[in-house]
C-alpha cells in the first residue's frame, strides 16, 4: 500500500492538476493511485486497476496463449490479482510434460507482482485441483484459498470461486468428463448385457440406458444453466455477486439482485475481468485491445509519413 500511494503524492507536489484544488477534506474515499499518478516506468505506462481476475490459463498445455498472457500481465498493475483456477493444467501435464520457457516467464511475472506489493490470491480449479490440498498456505507471496469474498470499492461483496463445483458432469460423474460421449455409447451396449443377466435371474426389465440418458441430459442442462446456478449459490450465501471461470466464456450478467461475472480464459478468448478504482467492473478482451492498438499504430505511422511527404 505504501508503495502504491507514493507516486500519487509525488504527482500532487510536482504536477498541479485540477484535482489538486479539491479540498482534501471533501474526499470521501482515499485517492486512487492509478487514476492520474505517474507510471512506475516512464517508458512503459501500465494500465492500473484496483483488482484483476484471470483464470483458465491452462499453463502446461499447447492451448495456452502464453505470449498474449505475458503481454497482458506485463501491461497491468493492480492492488489485488485473483487467479481463479485452471492456471496450471495438472491433467495435461500428467499425460505428457509440456513446459516451454514462456510458461516459466508467466509464473515469474506473477511472483514478481506479488513481491512488488500486489496481493495475489490463487483459487484452484479442477485442472489444478492438486493445489486444493494446500489451501490456507502461502507460496512466495501467493495465497492459496478454496474460495473467498472480495469487497469492491463500492462496497459489494463478491464470492470468488472457480466454478467446477456446479458443473454436473464434473461433480456427479468425474469419469464422464474424461470419457464423454463414448462412455454413453458403451453404456447403451451395456444395457443389453445388463438385461440379459437380469432375465437369467428372473428380474424385470430395467432400462440402464434410459436411466443414464436421463442423467446425461440432466448434466447437459446443468451446464447450460451454469451461470444461473452459480448466481443462485452466491445469492444463497448473501453475496452481491460472484466471479468465476471454468466454462471459458467471459460474461457479466444480472440474475435478480446478484451479478454474475466470468473472467473467460486464455486458451480461446484471452480475456480478463477488471475492477476500476470506483468499483466499476469490465471485461478486457486483450486480443481485441492489441488489434486496436496495432491499427492505431499503423494509422499514426501513415499520418506521420503523409506529413513528411516533400511538396
CA nearest neighbour of 111 among 133, 135, 143: 143
Distance from the first to the final alpha carbon of the chain: 55
Q: How far is the CB of 86 from Mn ion (least distance, A)?
A: 4
Measured CA to CA, the distance from residue 129 to residue 131 in angstroms comes to: 5
Q: What is the SS3 assignment for 135?
A: coil
In whole angstroms, how close is the CB of 175 to Mn ion at the nearest point? 17
What is the closest distance, in whole angstroms, from the C-beta atom of residue 164 to Mn ion in the complex? 5
Task: Report how far residue 189's alpha carbon sits from residue 187's, in angstroms, rounded to the nearest whole number.
Answer: 5
Show Cβ contacts of residue 284 under 8 Å, excluding neighbours closer than 6 positions.
72, 271, 272, 273, 274
Proportion of the chain in helix, strand, coil states, percent, rounded to 5: 45, 20, 35
- Record the cell numbers describing residue 90, joined without a space: 495438472
Q: Which stretch binds Mn ion (CB under 5 A): 32-40, 66-74, 96-104, 117-125?
A: 117-125
CB of residue 157 to Mn ion, shortest distance in Å: 23
- Length of the chain counted residue by residue: 311
For Mn ion, give the closer residue by CB, 159 or 187: 159
**CA 215 vs CA 14, 85, 209: distances in Å:** 66, 27, 10
Nearer to Mn ion, 76 or 170 (CB): 170
Q: Which stretch binds Mn ion (CB under 5 A): 133-141, 157-165, 206-214, 286-294?
A: 157-165
Answer for which of 125, 168, 264, 277 binds Mn ion (CB under 5 A) is 125
Judge whether 123 and 146 are in contact, CB under 8 Å: yes
Task: Please choose, out of 24-32, 141-149, 164-172, 184-192, the segment that lies near Mn ion by the rule CB under 5 A.
Answer: 164-172
Contacts with Mn ion, 30-69, as mask; x by CB under 5 A: ----------------------------------------
Query: Does residue 254 contact residue 240 with C-beta atoms inside 8 Å?
Result: no
Task: Select the span of 84-92, 210-218, 254-262, 272-280 touching Mn ion (CB under 5 A).
Answer: 84-92
CB of 56 to Mn ion, least distance (A): 6
Q: Which of 32, 61, 65, 126 binds Mn ion (CB under 5 A)?
A: 126
- Cα(247)–Cα(258) distance, integer angstroms: 19
3-state SS assignment for residue 145 = coil
Q: How far is the CB of 252 from Mn ion (least distance, A)?
A: 19
DSSP class per residue in 11-37: HHHHS--GGGGS-GGG-SSPPPHHHHS
Which residue is listed with cell 486497476?
A: 49
- The answer to whether residue 103 forms part of the interface with Mn ion (CB under 5 A) is no
Site string for Mn ion, 225-264 (x = CB under 5 A): ---------------------x------------------
Site stretch for Mn ion (CB under 5 A), options 6-14, 76-84, 126-134, 274-282: 126-134
Strand, helix or coil for residue 58: coil
Question: CB of residue 260 vs Mn ion: minimum separation in angstroms?
Answer: 16
Residues touching Mn ion, count (CB under 5 A): 5
Kindly state the smallest distance separating residue 265's Cβ from Mn ion, in Å. Answer: 9
Choose between 125 and 264: whose C-beta lies nearer to Mn ion.
125
Min. distance of Cβ 246 from Mn ion in angstroms?
4
Choice from 34, 58, 82, 86 touching Mn ion (CB under 5 A)? 86
Binding site for Mn ion (CB under 5 A): 86, 125-126, 164, 246
Amino acid at each position: 500500500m505504501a508503495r502504491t500511494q507514493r507516486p500519487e503524492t509525488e504527482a500532487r507536489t510536482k504536477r498541479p492538476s485540477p484535482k489538486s484544488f479539491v479540498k482534501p477534506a471533501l474526499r470521501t474515499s482515499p485517492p486512487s493511485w492509478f487514476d492520474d499518478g505517474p507510471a512506475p516506468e516512464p517508458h512503459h505506462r501500465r494500465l492500473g486497476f484496483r483488482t484483476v481476475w484471470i483464470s483458465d490459463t491452462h499453463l502446461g498445455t499447447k492451448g495456452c496463449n502464453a505470449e498474449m498472457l505475458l503481454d497482458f500481465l506485463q501491461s497491468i498493475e493492480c492492488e489485488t490479482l485473483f487467479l481463479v483456477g485452471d492456471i496450471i493444467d495438472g491433467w495435461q501435464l500428467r499425460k505428457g510434460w509440456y513446459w516451454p520457457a514462456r510458461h516459466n516467464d508467466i509464473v515469474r511475472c506473477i511472483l514478481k507482482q506479488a513481491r512488488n506489493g500486489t496481493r495475489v490470491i490463487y483459487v484452484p480449479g479442477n485442472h489444478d485441483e492438486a493445489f486444493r490440498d494446500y489451501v490456507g498456505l502461502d507460496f512466495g507471496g501467493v495465497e492459496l484459498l478454496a474460495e473467498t469474498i472480495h469487497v469492491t470499492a463500492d462496497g459489494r461483496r463478491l464470492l470468488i470461486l472457480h466454478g467446477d463445483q456446479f458443473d454436473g458432469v464434473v461433480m456427479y460423474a468425474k469419469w464422464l468428463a474424461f470419457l464423454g460421449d463414448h462412455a454413453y455409447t458403451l453404456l447403451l451396449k451395456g444395457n443389453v448385457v445388463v438385461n440379459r443377466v437380469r432375465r437369467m435371474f428372473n428380474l424385470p426389465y430395467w432400462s440402464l440406458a434410459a436411466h443414464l440418458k436421463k442423467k446425461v441430459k440432466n448434466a447437459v442442462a446443468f451446464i447450460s444453466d451454469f451461470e444461473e446456478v452459480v448466481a443462485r449459490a452466491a445469492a444463497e450465501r448473501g453475496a452481491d455477486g460472484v466471479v468465476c471461470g471454468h466454462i471459458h466464456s467471459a460474461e457479466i450478467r444480472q440474475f435478480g439482485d446478484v451479478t454474475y461475472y466470468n473472467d473467460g480464459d486464455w486458451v480461446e478468448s484471452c480475456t480478463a475481468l477488471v475492477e476500476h478504482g470506483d468499483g466499476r467492473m469490465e471485461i478486457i478482451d486483450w486480443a481485441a485491445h492489441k488489434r486496436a492498438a496495432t491499427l492505431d499504430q499503423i494509422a499514426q505511422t501513415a499520418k506521420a509519413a503523409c506529413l513528411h511527404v516533400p511538396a
